C-alpha cells in the first residue's frame, strides 16, 4: 500500500488547484511555432516488461495491477476537472505511467534514453542534472551543460503559459502533478530531440531536477501524447499519428508513426472503421470516443446510450488509451457483456480470482480448440470486430479461459489488449480515429 501523501505534497496540490482556477485555457492555435515534419517520423515502442521472461498470463497480471492504478488516476483527473459548483476547470493532476516505452535521444550530442509513452497527459520531460531529488534510471541523467542546443524557455513563452501551473524565476519553472501524488518539477526548456533517424529542434520539455513518486521508474521520463498544446503531437504540428501494437507476449517492437508515415496502410484502408474523436472541455488531453452499443455473439445487447455518454460535468464517457491494458466498461454496460458471455460460452464458469480477472471459464484438459462468442464494439460510424485473442486469454497451466474486460464506474476505457494487431490512426485535423486489422509486426 502506498504511504499517505505528505503535508508538503498536499500543500503543493492545493497550490496547483488554486493557480489553475485563475489560469485561462490555452488552445494549440495560440502557441505559434510548431515543428513541421513533412517526411514523417517512425520510432519503436517496447512493452515495459519486455525481456522479463514472463508467461503471457504473468505479463497480463502485472499489467492489470498497473492498469487498476491508472484507471483510478484517470477517473480522478475527470472528477477533479469540475469544482463543487460545477464550473469547469482544468484538472491539476494527470494520468502518468503507461505500458510502453519509446526510445529517443535528447541534446547535441544526443543522449539516448527510454521514456514512458502516455496518451493521457501532455508534458514531455526527463530527469536533469543537477538533481535535488531523482530516482534511479538505467541510462545517464541528462546534463544540460553538455548540450549545445539547450536553452531555457522564458516566462513569456506560449508553452510556459500553457502549463497548468508555473513560476517565474531565472526562467519558466514548472510543477506537474500526477494522480498518485507523483510529481515532476524543474525548468521548462527547449532542446533538439532525436526520434529514430530524425532530429527535431526546439521541442519544449520539462527538465526535471525534483521528481517524486513511484510511477516513473520504468523510464527516464515521460512523453505526453495527449491533445493539449504541450504534447509531442501538438509540438510537431504533424496533425496525425498512429501506432500498431503487437501482442503483449510478442518479442517484436510496435511502430509509432507521425506525419505522413501515419497514414492507414493501403492494404487495409478499405476495411478501416472511422469514428469521431470527441472533445471533453474538462479534460482536453484525453481521446474520447462515442461507444453506442456492443454485440456478443449474434446478440446486440441494447445498452442504453447514456451508459457511455460523456456528462456535462466532464465525467463518464469512454477514452481510448494505450497506457491501460484491458478494457473497463461502465457497470451497467459491463454487466450485460458479462451476462452475454456467461450464457453464450459453452463452458462452466470458474473462479478466476487468482488471475485478477472477473469472468473465467474452465477448459477441459482434452479440449484442443475452444469456441468463443464474437465481440463487436459499435462506435459512432464504425463497427469494430475484435479477434478472440484481443478479448480472451487461455492459460494452459490453470486451465482457465478469461474475458479481458472488467467493470468500472465513472469512466470507461478501451484498452491496449483490445487494440492488438489493429492499426490505430489519430487524425487531429479531421478529428477522427481510424481502426483496421493488420499484422503489426509486418508494418
CB-hemisphere CA count at 13 Å for 65? 10
> What's the distance, CA 201 to chain centroid?
25
User: What pLDDT, on a 0 to 100 scale, did the predictor assign at position 215?
Assistant: 63
282 vs 284: CA distance, rounded Å:
6
Is 210 tagged catalytic? no
Active site residue 321: yes
Question: What's the pLDDT score for residue 37?
Answer: 57
Q: What is the pLDDT of residue 365?
A: 82
**Cell representation of residue 296:** 456478443
Q: Hey, how many other C-beta atoms are within 10 angstroms of the C-beta on 15?
A: 15
Strand ranges across the sheet with 318-320: 288-289, 318-320, 412-414, 327-330, 405-408
Write down the pLDDT at residue 442. 87
What is residue 417's three-state secondary structure?
helix
pLDDT tens series, the chain, 443 aa: 444 555 444 444 444 333 333 333 333 333 434 555 557 899 999 988 887 889 888 888 888 887 777 777 676 666 555 443 344 333 344 444 678 999 999 999 999 999 999 888 899 999 999 999 998 888 899 999 999 999 999 999 999 999 988 899 888 999 998 766 678 999 999 999 999 889 999 999 999 999 987 667 778 999 999 999 999 999 999 889 999 999 888 888 999 999 989 999 888 999 999 999 999 988 888 999 999 999 999 999 999 999 999 998 889 999 999 888 899 999 999 999 999 999 999 999 999 888 999 999 999 887 778 899 999 999 999 999 999 999 999 988 889 999 999 999 989 999 999 999 999 999 999 999 999 999 998 88
Does residue 174 contact residue 165 with C-beta atoms inside 8 Å? yes
> What confidence score (pLDDT) does residue 14 get?
40
3-state SS record for 286-354? CCEECEEEEEECCEECCCCHHHHCECCCCCECEEECCCCCCEEEEHHHHHHHHHHHHHHCCCCEECCHH
pTM of the complete model: 0.86
Q: What share of the chain is helix, strand, coil (3-state, %, to 5)?
A: 20, 35, 45
Residue 420, strand partner residues = 245
For 269, 353, 414, 422, the CA distances from 272, given in Å and listed in that order, are 5, 36, 17, 10
Secondary structure class of 388 (helix, strand, coil): helix
Catalytic residue among 180, 321, 395, 427: 321
What is the spatial distance between Cα 36 and Cα 270, in angstroms, rounded to a whole number? 28
Q: Which three cell numbers stand for residue 287?
A: 481521446
> What is the rounded CA–CA span in Å between residue 435 and residue 437?
7
Q: Which of 118, 122, 395, 427 is catalytic?
A: 118
CA distance 259 to 230: 17
Amino acid at each position: 500500500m502506498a504511504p499517505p501523501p505528505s503535508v508538503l505534497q498536499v500543500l503543493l496540490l492545493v497550490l496547483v488547484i488554486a493557480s489553475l482556477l485563475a489560469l485561462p485555457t490555452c488552445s494549440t492555435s495560440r502557441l505559434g511555432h510548431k515543428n513541421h515534419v513533412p517526411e514523417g517520423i517512425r520510432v519503436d515502442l517496447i512493452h515495459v516488461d519486455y525481456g522479463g521472461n514472463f508467461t503471457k498470463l504473468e505479463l497480463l497480471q502485472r499489467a492489470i495491477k498497473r492498469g487498476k492504478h491508472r484507471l483510478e488516476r484517470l477517473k480522478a483527473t475527470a472528477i477533479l476537472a469540475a469544482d463543487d459548483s460545477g464550473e469547469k476547470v482544468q484538472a491539476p493532476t494527470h494520468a502518468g505511467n503507461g505500458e510502453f516505452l519509446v526510445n529517443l535521444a535528447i541534446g547535441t550530442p544526443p543522449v539516448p534514453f527510454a521514456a514512458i509513452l502516455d496518451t493521457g497527459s501532455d508534458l514531455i520531460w526527463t530527469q536533469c542534472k543537477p538533481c535535488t531529488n531523482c530516482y534511479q534510471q538505467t541510462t545517464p541523467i541528462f546534463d544540460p551543460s553538455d548540450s549545445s542546443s539547450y536553452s531555457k524557455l522564458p516566462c513569456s513563452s506560449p508553452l510556459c503559459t500553457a502549463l497548468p501551473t508555473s513560476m517565474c524565476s531565472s526562467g519558466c519553472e514548472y510543477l506537474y502533478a500526477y494522480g498518485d501524488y507523483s510529481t515532476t518539477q524543474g525548468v521548462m526548456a527547449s532542446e533538439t530531440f532525436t526520434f529514430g533517424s530524425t532530429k527535431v529542434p526546439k521541442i519544449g520539455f520539462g527538465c526535471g531536477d525534483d521528481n517524486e513518486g513511484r510511477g516513473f521508474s520504468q523510464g527516464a521520463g515521460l512523453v505526453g501524447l495527449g491533445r493539449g498544446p504541450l504534447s509531442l503531437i501538438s509540438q510537431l504540428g504533424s496533425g496525425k499519428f498512429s501506432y500498431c501494437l503487437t501482442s503483449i507476449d510478442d518479442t517484436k517492437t510496435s511502430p509509432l508513426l507521425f506525419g505522413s508515415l501515419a497514414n492507414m496502410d493501403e492494404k487495409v484502408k478499405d476495411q478501416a472503421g472511422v469514428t469521431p474523436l470527441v472533445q471533453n472541455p474538462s479534460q482536453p488531453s484525453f481521446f474520447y470516443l462515442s461507444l453506442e452499443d456492443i454485440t456478443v455473439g449474434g446478440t446486440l445487447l441494447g445498452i442504453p446510450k447514456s451508459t457511455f455518454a460523456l456528462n456535462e460535468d466532464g465525467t463518464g464517457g469512454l477514452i481510448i488509451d494505450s497506457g491501460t491494458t484491458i478494457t473497463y466498461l461502465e457497470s451497467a454496460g459491463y454487466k450485460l457483456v458479462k451476462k452475454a458471455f456467461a450464457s453464450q460460452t459453452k463452458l462452466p464458469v470458474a473462479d478466476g480470482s487468482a488471475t485478477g480477472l472477473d469472468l473465467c471459464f474452465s477448459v477441459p484438459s482434452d479440449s484442443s480448440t475452444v469456441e468463443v462468442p464474437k465481440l463487436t464494439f459499435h462506435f459512432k460510424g464504425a463497427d469494430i470486430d475484435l479477434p478472440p485473442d484481443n478479448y480472451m486469454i487461455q492459460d494452459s497451466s490453470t486451465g482457465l479461459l478469461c474475458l479481458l474486460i472488467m467493470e468500472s464506474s465513472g469512466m470507461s476505457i478501451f484498452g491496449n489488449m483490445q487494440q492488438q494487431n489493429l492499426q490505430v490512426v489519430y487524425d487531429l485535423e479531421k478529428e477522427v480515429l481510424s481502426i483496421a486489422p493488420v499484422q503489426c509486426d509486418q508494418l
